Amino acid sequence: MALLQIQEPGGKQAKPLHRLAVGIDLGTTNSLVSASCGPGVKTLPDSAGQHLLPSVVHYRKGETALVGFEAKSLLVEDPLNTIASAKRLLGKSLAELKSQQGYLPFEFDGSRDDGAPAILTASGSKDAVQISADILSTLVARAEASLKGSLEGAVITVPAYFNDAQRQQTKDAAQLAGLNVLRLLNEPTAAAVAYGLDSEDQGNIIVFDLGGGTFDVSLLSLKRGVFEVLATGGDTSLGGDDVDHAIADWIASQMSESGGIEIPSKARLLQLANGAKHQLSDSKVITISSDAWSVELTESVLKEIIADLIRRTITSCRRVLRDAGLAVGDIDNIVMVGGSTRMPLVREAVAEFFGKAPLTDIDPDKVVAIGAGIQADVLIGNKSADSFLLLDVNPLSLGIETMGELVEKIIPRNTTIPVAKAQEFTTFKDGQTVMTLHVVQGERELVSDCRSLARFELREIPAMVAGAAKIRVTFQVDADGLLSVSAEELSTGKKAEIQVKPSYGLESGIIEGMLQDSHSNAQIDMETRSIKEAQLDATQLLDAIASALRIDGDLLSEDEANVLAKSIQKLESIMIDGSSVQIHGATEELNQVSSDFAAKRMDLHIANALRGESIEEVEKQVD
C-alpha cells in the first residue's frame, strides 16, 4: 500500500524560486558582471559578446551617459567629458587627488563644499559616486537583459586595501544605481572563492593579485566550507604599468647606446614595451623594432629589467606569511589574479618562492567577478545555508587620538570582522566636560601620520578631577568593513555615536604607503613619541602647579614665587622644541623647585584636617 506523503509543518513546500543576484567586479580599468547560469557561475557578455566593460564613462549634454567601449573610443577626442579610472577618485578629496595625480585633464567643480572631487562635464558636475553608479547601472542593465528578470541583490568587490571612505562610497554608488548590496567583498577573497568551490580543498591559500596599477596579496585558510582571511598586504603603486615603464626605460637606453637615433615619445616607448611584454609571454626571445632600428629582448634580460618589481611582490608575500605566523611550507595553493600574472616570469618567481606551481585555470581577468557571483548566489539564498562562509579581516588598524597626538589602536589590522572592541578613557583636565573623539586609521603612532576618519564630541560629562571620569569608547566594524564608533560616560550613561562616513580634505596619501611608512619610520616615531610623552608629563606638572598656585599661592614668599615662576618659564620654552631628554630635565628641575611648595601645602592640609571636626560631630550635625 502506498503511503500518503505528509509534509512536515513549516517545511519546504516546493523548490524555492531561483532569485536573481549578480557578482560585480568594479575595476579601475575594466568591470565585469557574473551570475549563476546553469551548472556554474559565468561572466555575462554584452550584446556584442564582450565580457569586459571598460570602466570609462562619457557625458553628453541632454543625453544619457555612454559607458564602455564607445566611451573609451572618445577618450582622445573628448577628454574633458570622458572619464576613465573613476575608482581612483573614490574616497579622496580634490586636494589629495591633485597632489597625487597632477595629470588629470578635467575641470573640477569648485563649488562642492565637502571637498569631494567632482568633474564638470557637458551634462553637469559628476563625482566618483555618480560615475561609478553609471558603470554599475550599465552592468545591471546587461545582467537583467541576459537573465530576463530584475535583480534582487549584488555582491560588489573592492580591493582588500580599500579604506572605510572608499568602501562607503562604493556602497553609495550601488545605492544610487538602485542596487541592493548583499556584501562588499574583498577582491582576493572573491578570487579564492572562485577556485575554492571547484575543488573540495582544505588548507591555506595565497591570492596573488597583480593588476595594471596595484598589487594585493592575501592569505586565506579554507576549512569545512569556511574561508578565513588570515592576513592581507600589498602595494597600491605596483603593477603591470610599472613593468611597461621598466621595459620602456630599457628600450630608450638601448637606443641611446646605438647612437644617432631620435628617441620616440614616452607614449610610443610604452606602446613598444607593452607589445614586447605580451610577446614575451609566448616566446623566449623577441625583436623590438621602431622605424629602421631594432633590438632583441630575451626573457633572461627581461628578468633583470623587472627583478626589482618582482622582488617587491615577493617581499609582500613574505610579510603576509609573517603576519599570519605561517611558513612557506604551510601554503597549499596559490591563486593568480590580474592580467599581469599572465607573465611567465611572474608565475616562475611565485612558484619558486612557494615551492609549488600557482593555479592559473580560471582567466585571471574574470576570476574575481566569478567569485563575487558565487557569493551572491549564496547570500541571496539559492545555495543551502551551510555551503560556505567568508570571514574577512580589517586591512588597517583603527584607533583613537589620545593626549599628545598619539594613536591608541583599538582594533589592530588583520582582526577578523565583524568585531566590536571597547576601551575606557578618562579626562585630562580638572572639570573637563567635553571630550573630542578623533577616529583614525593606519599603523603609525602619530595622529598626523594616519588617516583621519571622523571627529565627534561627547558632551555633558559631569565635572570631576582629571582622571576620575570613565568614558567607554566602542568600535564596531561590520562584515563589510564599515566602522561605527560610540562613546559613553559610565556614571551618567551619557552617549554619543557616529557612523563613520568618508571625510574629505585630508592629505593622507595612499593606504599602504602608510603601512610601509609605519615600518621604515618606526625609529623616528620612537623619538617623536618620547618627545610627545615628555611634553605630556611637562604639561601635567605645569597644570598641577598652576592650579595649586591659584589655591595656595599665598603660602609662598616673593622670592620663592619668583624662583618657581622662572622654573615654570624655562620648562614652558624648552617643551616647545627641546629633545625628550631636555624636556625631562626641565620637568625634573621644576619638580624639585616646587617640592617645598608641595610640602607646605601638605602641612597646611594636614593641619586643617587635624583642626577639623570629627566624624561623630559631623553626623550629629546631619541629624
Between CA 504 and CA 454 the distance in angstroms is 10
Which of 237, 221, 95 shows the shortest CA–CA distance to 159?
237
Stretch that binds another protein, among 257-265, 298-306, 473-481, 540-548 (CB under 8 A): 473-481
Stretch that binds another protein, among 361-369, 410-418, 540-548, 581-589 (CB under 8 A): 410-418
Write the binding mask 315 to 334 for another protein: x where contact by CB under 8 A, - elsewhere: x--xx--x------------
* 343 contact partners, CB below 8 Å, separation of at least 6: 243, 277, 280, 281
DSSP state of 500: -
Between CA 508 and CA 452 the distance in angstroms is 8
Q: Least distance in Å: CB of 346 to another protein?
A: 20
Q: Least distance in Å: CB of 206 to another protein?
A: 17
Q: Is 316 or 587 the residue whose CB approaches another protein more closely?
A: 316
- At position 608, the amino acid (one-letter code) is N
Distance between the two ends of the chain, CA-based, in angstroms? 92
> Is the distance from CB of 355 to CB of 173 less than 8 angstroms?
no
Residues numbered 222-241 forming contacts with another protein, rule: CB under 8 A: 223-226, 228
Q: Which long-range contacts (CB under 8 A, 24 or more apart) does 438-441 make?
A: 438/400, 438/401, 439/398, 439/399, 439/400, 439/475, 439/483, 439/485, 439/498, 439/500, 440/398, 440/399, 440/400, 440/401, 440/407, 441/163, 441/164, 441/396, 441/397, 441/398, 441/399
Q: Is 476 or 587 the residue whose CB approaches another protein more closely?
A: 476
Q: Cα separations (Å) of 29 from 56, 321, 370?
A: 8, 29, 17
Q: Is 73 or 516 the residue whose CB approaches another protein more closely?
A: 516
Stretch that binds another protein, among 111-119, 453-461, 472-480, 566-574 (CB under 8 A): 472-480
Q: Which long-range contacts (CB under 8 A, 24 or more apart) does 119-124 make?
A: 119/83, 121/59, 121/80, 121/81, 121/83, 122/59, 122/60, 122/61, 122/81, 123/59, 123/60, 123/61, 123/62, 123/63, 123/65, 124/59
Write the binding mask 22 to 61 for another protein: x where contact by CB under 8 A, - elsewhere: ----------------------------------------
Q: Least distance in Å: CB of 62 to another protein?
A: 39
Q: Is 384 or 557 the residue whose CB approaches another protein more closely?
A: 384
- Residue 379 in contact with another protein, rule: CB under 8 A: yes
- Residue 478 in contact with another protein, rule: CB under 8 A: yes
Between CA 143 and CA 33 the distance in angstroms is 7
Q: Which three cell numbers stand for residue 315?
A: 617581499
Q: Which three cell numbers stand for residue 37?
A: 547560469
- Residue 381 in contact with another protein, rule: CB under 8 A: yes
Residues belonging to the chain:
623
User: What region does 115 belong to: left with phi over 0, alpha with psi -120 to 50, or beta?
Assistant: left
- Residue 378 in contact with another protein, rule: CB under 8 A: yes
Greatest pairwise CA separation for the chain in angstroms: 115
Q: Least distance in Å: CB of 418 to another protein?
A: 5
Q: Least distance in Å: CB of 133 to another protein?
A: 21
Q: Least distance in Å: CB of 523 to another protein?
A: 8
- Residue 546 in contact with another protein, rule: CB under 8 A: no
Write the binding mask 160 to 199 for another protein: x where contact by CB under 8 A, - elsewhere: ----------------------xx----------------
**Number of other CB atoms surrounding residue 558 within 10 Å:** 7
Q: Is 119 or 471 the residue whose CB approaches another protein more closely?
A: 471
Between CA 211 and CA 55 the distance in angstroms is 14
- Residue 294 in contact with another protein, rule: CB under 8 A: no
Q: Is 27 or 442 the residue whose CB approaches another protein more closely?
A: 442
**Number of other CB atoms surrounding residue 381 within 10 Å:** 15
Q: Is 192 or 417 the residue whose CB approaches another protein more closely?
A: 417
Three-state DSSP at 363 gives: coil
Write the binding mask 131 to 160 for another protein: x where contact by CB under 8 A, - elsewhere: ----------------------x-------
- Residue 495 in contact with another protein, rule: CB under 8 A: no
- Residue 389 in contact with another protein, rule: CB under 8 A: yes
- Residue 380 in contact with another protein, rule: CB under 8 A: yes
* 145 contact partners, CB below 8 Å, separation of at least 6: 47
- Residue 419 in contact with another protein, rule: CB under 8 A: yes
Stretch that binds another protein, among 76-84, 250-258, 281-289, 386-394 (CB under 8 A): 386-394
Catalytic (active-site) positions:
25, 87, 187, 209
Between CA 528 and CA 542 the distance in angstroms is 21
Q: Is 522 or 546 the residue whose CB approaches another protein more closely?
A: 522
Q: Least distance in Å: CB of 476 to another protein?
A: 7
Three-state DSSP at 260 gives: coil
Q: Which long-range contacts (CB under 8 A, 24 or more apart) does 581-585 make?
A: 583/531, 583/534, 583/535, 583/537, 583/538, 584/534, 584/537
Between CA 283 and CA 296 the distance in angstroms is 12
Which of 217, 151, 149, 214 shows the shortest CA–CA distance to 178?
151
* Interacting residue with another protein among 73, 271, 279, 415 (CB under 8 A): 415
- Residue 479 in contact with another protein, rule: CB under 8 A: yes
Residues numbered 575-614 forming contacts with another protein, rule: CB under 8 A: none
Stretch that binds another protein, among 76-84, 98-106, 409-417, 583-591 (CB under 8 A): 409-417
- Residue 476 in contact with another protein, rule: CB under 8 A: yes
Between CA 433 and CA 449 the distance in angstroms is 28
How many residues contact another protein, by CB under 8 A?
36
Q: Least distance in Å: CB of 428 to another protein?
A: 20
- Residue 498 in contact with another protein, rule: CB under 8 A: no
Residues numbered 521-540 forming contacts with another protein, rule: CB under 8 A: 522-523
Residues numbered 60-89 forming contacts with another protein, rule: CB under 8 A: none
Q: Least distance in Å: CB of 417 to another protein?
A: 7
The residues binding another protein (CB under 8 A) are 153, 182-183, 223-226, 228, 315, 318-319, 322, 378-381, 385-386, 389-391, 415-421, 476, 478-479, 516, 519-520, 522-523
